[in-house]
């Protein structure tokens, strides 16, 4: 049985996750991160597009209406990877985004800069949400790094 190149099935995704999940708690940490940031999901998603828009590869400005549309478009991806890490649906979204960007002449560096912007905003949100628990931010930061790299 064939499948699309670059798309992971559930078994392959679990194998890949295991490479990044040294402590065995990545999925639980991702769910906890989602609980902490869900109310600010638009802020996280918008950070992606704001960073993306600054790339010299993006020739036309992204207006406010388009920014809102793009923000709405990636929220399911962000929610999926944090709330359902082992469900390959979020990886299929990534493959689709990368494929579309490639066809439009947008580099992976531009895409990854947006991913980094999301991670930076998430880190700030997490730190604020659990500032009273000095050990927890380090654990969740480790999970955030693993998931960002996994993507």
The CB-side HSE value for 137 (13 A sphere, CA atoms) comes to: 13
Residue 68 tokens read as 């809102």
Per-residue pLDDT tens for 47-75? 999 999 999 999 999 999 999 999 999 99
Cα–chain-centroid distance for residue 97?
12
Residue 115: predicted pLDDT: 96
127 Ramachandran zone, left/alpha/beta (phi>0; psi -120 to 50) = alpha
Which range has the worst mean pLDDT, 87-91, 124-128, 140-144?
Answer: 87-91
């Amino acid at each position: 049985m064939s499948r699309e190149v670059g798309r992971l099935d559930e078994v392959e995704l679990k194998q890949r996750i295991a490479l990044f999940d040294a402590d065995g708690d990545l999925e639980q940490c991702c769910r906890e991160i989602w609980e902490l940031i869900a109310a600010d999901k638009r802020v996280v998603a918008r950070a992606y597009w704001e960073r993306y828009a600054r790339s010299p590869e993006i020739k036309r400005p992204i207006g406010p209406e388009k920014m809102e549309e793009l923000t709405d478009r990636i929220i399911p991806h962000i929610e999926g990877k944090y709330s359902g890490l082992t469900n390959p649906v979020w990886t299929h979204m990534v493959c689709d985004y990368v494929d579309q960007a490639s066809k439009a002449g947008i580099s992976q560096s531009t895409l990854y800069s947006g991913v980094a912007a999301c991670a930076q905003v998430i880190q700030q949100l997490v730190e604020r949400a659990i500032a009273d628990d000095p050990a927890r931010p380090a654990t969740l930061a480790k999970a955030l790094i693993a998931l960002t790299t996994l993507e």
